Chain A
Amino acid sequence: MRDNRHTAAVVMRLLQLSDSALPIGTFSFSNTLESAVEWGVVGDRESLKEYCTEVLRVAALSDGVAALHALKACDKGRYDDILRADKLLFCSKASGEARLMTQRMGRKLAELGVALSSDATLLRWHDDIRRGEVAGCCAVSQGIIASVFGIGEEELFASLCYSAVMMILSAALRSMRVTHIATQQIIGELCGLTEPLLAEARALTIEDMQSFAPQYDIMASLHEKGDKRLFMN
């Protein structure tokens, strides 16, 4: 059983893994914001917040479900279930750049994980990514690492949601007129959504992973085929 007492060490580990300075390449991606700004979908603080809300929802009900599944599978030593979550999540990502993002960050996170721990599952996961045996989605790496470091479901989910939103907000600071204070306010305002989204994500099986964001998908397509780019997606 997982110990739900939040020791200072576990909290510090969680902060480390949620930090935007974590060297897994987050800084290179805008999660479609670059196109959304260029095509006028996002232009001010309110539209940025609305866009972040949708991206948060997509991340929670797809990546979030896969991460929770991977955490539980890792806790129970069911490696096949980890592989299944990875396969289903990868096959759910219709955008080529979204696949690129999740695979690069997933691989970097696994590399970092084996530098921090010698856990057998983590080593196997990293080896499978390196040999191209698995897609190596970031959310699945996050789930495995959470299990290895004793991070609970709630904390993992919050960390994943935070990363998804921070990726957009960090890109927003470099792409549009918005202040650091405004982006922090947006994070604060979105915090309240995490709890109901966690409840929704927990109720879903891995087969129920879902996302409905056609405008986001089209923004990804415009970026993929566009000729202006500061970010990799």
Chain B
Amino acid sequence: MISDWHRSDTDTPHEALRYISPTPYARPGIVGKSGFLRLGFECDANGRTILRDWERRVPLIVQQALYFDEQLPDMACVYILSSGGPNLDGDRYEQLFTLRRGAMVHLSTGAATKIAEMRHDYSSLRQHIRLEEGSYLEYLPEPVIPCRHSRYISDTQITIAHSAVLLYGEIYLPGRRHYGSGERFDYDLLSVAMRAEREGGELLFREKFVVEPHRHHPQRRGAMGDYEIFANVVVIADEPIADDIYNATSPFSDHTEELLCGITRLPNHCGVQFKVLGNSTDKVKRLVRHFASRVRQRVKHKPLRDDFVWR
């Protein structure tokens, strides 16, 4: 049950066990260390998506739904902010997003998710995204920046109805690339897991990747090669939609632009996955937005608006 989900115990994944240690300055669980966000969207009588109910606990903040997208004026656009700055040792965040029948939402973050340098413990984000029939969610947060010796666990559960569409894209940077002499893959742990299923519990696909650069550097042929930035975009959609997106997208390798991208069909005919490797944040973001626009065009018959110039 989704209502019980956030109250369940957090099982520490195997790869984080070696980092568990009490933080001397603020233990997990106190105010500011356990951010919580629950957002429930639904359509009003006029077909506009509204943020019907929400619950929030610092440092996670959502102010209100905005309607700035002239392409889809009824779509609720929400930015998730964090008043606490970067994620610190011992931070445990949870986010639950529910889109009820027919709701249409664009979710993003106000800035990059910076995972601060750590000496103790780890930081985690658990998410449950639930999409009811006919709903549509674009979830395109700003990049994740894991700083030196940071440890970050992200675990996303998706429950999605057959006629709903989810577009979820994450971008991972190697660290603070322009800090000092440049920080690249100096973090301790990046663990990302995702699992999608139908309402009845039927598993559609799962993914888990763990990067521990000090133990096994990711810049090897087959892993990231010579690239530093990785974008992982998942589209869960009905087969005809997924097929059209798959057929319209060509993988390529561009040495000049230092970009490499590919698309594949997810198991159980549940959607597609688009992956990008690159060395320029702007170019990777642009490619992800271009792909996202193709998805929106297919699903909502409108392109994605240009990103704001300040982002």
Contacts and interface: CB of A to CB of B under 8 A. Distances in A.
B210 A221 contact: no
Given A217-B275, A218-B262, A225-B251, A91 B203 contact: yes
A186 to B, nearest CB: 13
Interface stretch (A1-9, A15-23, A200-208): A200-208
Query: In the complex, which of the residues B203, B205, B207, B227 has the most CB atoms of chain A within 10 Å of its own CB atom?
Result: B207
Interface string A26-56: 0000000000100111100001001101110
B221 interface: yes
A224 B267 CA distance: 15
B264 A94 contact: yes
Interface string B121-140: 00000000000000000000
B160 to A, nearest CB: 14
B97 interface: no
Interface string A90-110: 111111100100000000000
Main secondary structure on chain A at its contact with chain B?
A: helix
A213 interface: yes
Interface string B262-274: 1111111000010
Contact of A93 (B15, B225, B267): B267
Contacts of B220: 50, 53-54
Contact of B273 (A51, A54, A94, A211): A94
Interface string B206-233: 1111110000101011111101001010
B208 A50 contact: no
Contacts, number: 111
A215 B260 contact: yes
B62 interface: no
A126 interface: no
A214 B221 CA distance: 10
Contacts of A224: 264
Contacts of B71: none
Nearest to B197: A91
B10 interface: no
A194 interface: no
B182 interface: no
B297 to A, nearest CB: 20
Contact of B262 (A51, A208, A222): A222
A13 interface: no
A214 B264 CA distance: 12
Interface string B145-185: 00000000000000000000000000000000000000000
Interface in A156-210: 203-205, 208-210
B209 A211 contact: yes
B21 interface: no
B261 interface: yes
B24 interface: no
B204 interface: yes
A215 B206 contact: no
Contact of B14 (A54, A55, A90, A204): A204
Chain B CB within 10 A, most for which of A53, A93, A203, A215: A215
Contacts of A42: 221
Given A42-B221, A214-B224, A220-B264, A225 B250 contact: yes
5 contacts: A41-B221, A54-B220, A55-B222, A216-B223, A217-B264
Interface of B: 13-15, 203-211, 216, 218, 220-225, 227, 230, 232, 250-253, 255, 260-268, 273, 275, 277
Interface of A: 36, 39-42, 47, 50-51, 53-55, 57-58, 87-88, 90-96, 99, 203-205, 208-222, 224-225
Given A92-B207, A208-B14, A211-B208, 10 more contacts: A39-B253, A47-B221, A50-B220, A51-B222, A87-B203, A91-B205, A95-B264, A96-B264, A96-B265, A220-B262
